[in-house]
Structure 1
Amino acid sequence: MTDQIQEIVTRLPDMESVTGVWDTAEDRLGQGDFTFVADLGVALVTQYGSSGARIWQYRSVFDRLLRLLALTPGQEHAESAARVVAAAPDNGKLARYAASLLADGQDPKALKSAFAARSSSADDALDELRCCLVQELVLRGVSIAENPEVEAWATSPYRRRHPLAWLPLELSAIEEAPSLPSYSVGGSSYCMPYGAEDDTGVTLGSAADLPSVTDTTTDAFRESAAAAVANWAEESNGCNEAGSYDLSGPIHVEALPDLLVTLGLECLSGTYSLERPTLAVCRPEDAWEVLFAAASTGGAYNNGEYGAYGRLASWRSLAALSGASTTAPVGEVEERARECGWYSFGAASKWFRGVAWDMGLVSVSQAGRRIAVLAATDTD
């Protein structure tokens, strides 16, 4: 450890501003001294990373160092970022974040060394980073088959036991072009495709002759359907609601808003009596996009699951809402989703916060005798 690094580590808790440390790291990186930046990151992790409190100075400087390394193109910068991540304790969420940064900031060729000649042991400190990085690359349209080091690791026997192994190594047609964050050293930008469309997109009919409804919602269904928005409730101010229902006869689209009102959904409680929920036709691609954005970027006060686990959560939600098994292959889930009719909805109710994070999705089975609902809201 150099004297300068030792001084920064020692003085850090007493600093009222850390911009000087930011500037020092950026200057050293600009001079090509990526080792200094990585060594500083490792030293800070060693001193402060395991602390329950984790002082704000540490969080701010560590994030800046990681961004500097991950977003500066070059294999040596990518390897240095990985070294910092490997040094951090309990780095599961950090690995997700770092993988998102690296996939956004680096050419895939600069990342191949992370996968070359690596142990398949679950104890490998960078194993979770690699698992996430594979999926982050897939989401950005990178051909895994054209990157031999990545493909060899991603198809290894050990990887099959990882939760992310359920996901294919290429984008499905439903995923189209996923909305992904754009990072800079000083910040990030995200897509927020929430809320119902202004135009209902359907012709509303009479509430007469609605089919009778049997609530088939189970705890397992709720958990799976809400997988994409669980982080809004667990890490921010949000809440969600999910339900599945069997119908005595097929539901016609024009009667769907009236049927929703009869389900006793909390998200529609307090809806003004003269107003029906707004309903808009959407494609399964649109449904997946909203679910992925909710899962990967989070709500008002959190950063979500990032790309890899955001992709996993969005497919879990899509499977439950379309009536497919959450253990079925993704291709089978996609087929079932395409058989369903999809609609986004919203309402002038007390439940929806009306800030920026409101979403409602309804799927209707091919025969029109099953519907599933997912609603979520969050606020700052």
Structure 2
Amino acid sequence: MPLDELSAGIDEAEDVSRRCARVERAAAEGRAGELYALALTLRTGSSRQRDAVLLRILQALALTPGAAHAAHAVRLAATEEDEARVRLAAALLASAQPLEHLLPLFDGYDQAPELFACLTHELVLRHPDLGQEGAVRRVAAHLADGNHPLAVLPLTLLDFEDGLDLPSYGLRGTSYAIPFGPGERPGALRRPGHRVPAVELLAPGLLTAAVENWAQDSNGRIEARAFRLAVPAELDAALLDGLGLACLAGEGELAVRAATPSEVMTVLFAAAATGSAYGSGRGGAYGRLLAWQSMTALAGGSRIEDAADRTWALFSASTAWFHQVAWDLGVAALDPGRLVLHVLAATDTD
């Protein structure tokens, strides 16, 4: 049955689930070109129903392995005006399509520069040796020449990016690990009125980069602070509890544990890439960039490599500030001299 019949009466349809199921079957049958043509037909109008079927076409093309499917998904995403959908297309393609189907398409970089910028760094996350490919290196050079934001990211992963949890995509939804949240707390002893001698510093602007989407897309709140301590200190519950942090105000248990740079990067990447209660995040490519920005700021705002020299901690609390649903995050970093501390806390709820 011709797929173009799916556009008939679509704007008045109460439910498009059957149309979406037809799209999925067509993708499985190898009818990539017909699906692309249907997408162009649907774009001649505007409605919630059309948009839902268009999204399913993009998903079905990107997630069904095959050279034709990958090529038509790229063609469709290349003319997409929604930046979030472009990022999604790149993530889907990188997760499902073999490299031999994707790399030849990189010659079309000029027709879809943002798509290939995202696709390049989505692929870097999944293929550690990708940076050796000439097609990818050429795109990276274009990004550098154009001062693209993603150009600062290398085509290899740093040592402490070895544990990043990448989403698993499917036509029935997305699954991913959430490395933050209220968790189990041992109930650390707190001292009401305890204050640590310190001078508050101006927190780097990019400190909040990884979690800004929690506030922009959902109900999140964020606290980002920086302090210079009067005397060297250990990064523990007593230190954090004595700085007057808003997120720790009032009653509630506080749990602090030492963390590695790898653990911190995993948390920041998940916060940026996969999002919050009502937000879907910024995807893998920009998620990595935003995690880098927050981690660099936490490490003093100079170089991402300085993260290796810092003392790191992850913390959570049952205070009124944290929603204690699923999206609770607390990160602290102490400089090698044990005098300068940066803190990032975020929480969100549905």
The TM-score bracket by the shorter chain reads over 0.9
Secondary structure of residue in 2 paired with 1:177? coil
The structural deviation recorded for 1:76 is 1.0
The structural deviation recorded for 1:265 is 1.8
TM-score for the superposition, normalised by structure 1: 0.85
Q: Which position in structure 2 is the counterpart of 1:129?
A: 115
Q: Which position in structure 2 is the counterpart of 1:184?
A: 170
1:8-30 deviations in Å (ceiling 9; x for gaps): 33411111111221232233333
Q: Which position in structure 2 is the counterpart of 1:51?
A: none
Q: Which position in structure 2 is the counterpart of 1:311?
A: 288
The structural deviation recorded for 1:270 is 2.1
Aligned partner of 1:114: which letter?
A: L
Sequence identity of aligned pairs in percent? Answer: 37
1:186-225 deviations in Å (ceiling 9; x for gaps): 2110110003664669x9799999751100024xx1x311
Q: Which position in structure 2 is the counterpart of 1:235?
A: 217
Q: Which position in structure 2 is the counterpart of 1:257?
A: 237
| Alpha-carbon separation, structure 1, partners of 2:190 and 2:278 | 40
Q: Which position in structure 2 is the counterpart of 1:366?
A: 336
| Alpha-carbon separation, structure 1, partners of 2:67 and 2:128 | 17
Q: Cα RMSD (Å) of the superposition?
A: 2.4
The structural deviation recorded for 1:267 is 0.9
Q: Which position in structure 2 is the counterpart of 1:24?
A: 22
Q: Which position in structure 1 is the counterpart of 2:265?
A: 288
1:310-338 deviations in Å (ceiling 9; x for gaps): 0000000000001033xxxxxx412x111
1:42-95 deviations in Å (ceiling 9; x for gaps): 2222322xxxxxx3312321221111100111111111011111222x232221
Aligned partner of 2:304: which letter?
A: V
Residue 193 of structure 1 pairs with residue 170 of structure 2: no
Q: Which moved more, 1:340-349 or 1:140-149?
A: 140-149
256, 261, 266: which one aligns with 2:246: 266
| Alpha-carbon separation, structure 2, partners of 1:262 and 1:209 | 5
Correspondence list, 1:74-223, <5 A: 74-88=66-80, 90-116=81-107, 118-119=109-110, 124=111, 126-156=112-142, 159-195=145-181, 198=184, 211-218=196-203, 221=204, 223=205
Asked if the contact 1:70–1:78 (Cα under 8 Å) also holds between the matched residues in 2, the reply is yes
Asked if the contact 1:195–1:360 (Cα under 8 Å) also holds between the matched residues in 2, the reply is no
| Alpha-carbon separation, structure 2, partners of 1:173 and 1:142 | 11
Asked if the contact 2:182–2:326 (Cα under 8 Å) also holds between the matched residues in 1, the reply is no
TM-score for the superposition, normalised by structure 2: 0.92
| Alpha-carbon separation, structure 2, partners of 1:115 and 1:178 | 25
Q: Which position in structure 1 is the counterpart of 2:38?
A: 40
| Alpha-carbon separation, structure 1, partners of 2:192 and 2:29 | 71
Distance 1:151 1:314, change over 3 A: same
Asked if the contact 1:241–1:374 (Cα under 8 Å) also holds between the matched residues in 2, the reply is yes
- Paired positions, count: 350
The structural deviation recorded for 1:140 is 0.7
1:105-151 deviations in Å (ceiling 9; x for gaps): 101111112212643xxxx4x11000001100111134223422222
Distance 1:229 1:139, change over 3 A: same
Q: Which position in structure 2 is the counterpart of 1:70?
A: 62
Asked if the contact 1:85–1:91 (Cα under 8 Å) also holds between the matched residues in 2, the reply is no
Secondary structure of residue in 2 paired with 1:111? helix
| Alpha-carbon separation, structure 1, partners of 2:15 and 2:192 | 62
Secondary structure of residue in 1 paired with 2:344? strand
Distance 1:180 1:169, change over 3 A: same
Distance 1:344 1:200, change over 3 A: farther
Unaligned runs of 5+ in 1: 49-54, 326-331
Q: Which moved more, 1:27-36 or 1:172-181?
A: 27-36
Aligned partner of 2:89: which letter?
A: A
| Alpha-carbon separation, structure 2, partners of 1:353 and 1:206 | 22
The structural deviation recorded for 1:344 is 0.9
Unaligned runs of 5+ in 2: none
| Alpha-carbon separation, structure 1, partners of 2:127 and 2:3 | 42
Asked if the contact 1:210–1:251 (Cα under 8 Å) also holds between the matched residues in 2, the reply is no
| Alpha-carbon separation, structure 1, partners of 2:52 and 2:346 | 31
Asked if the contact 1:215–1:245 (Cα under 8 Å) also holds between the matched residues in 2, the reply is yes
Secondary structure of residue in 1 paired with 2:44? helix
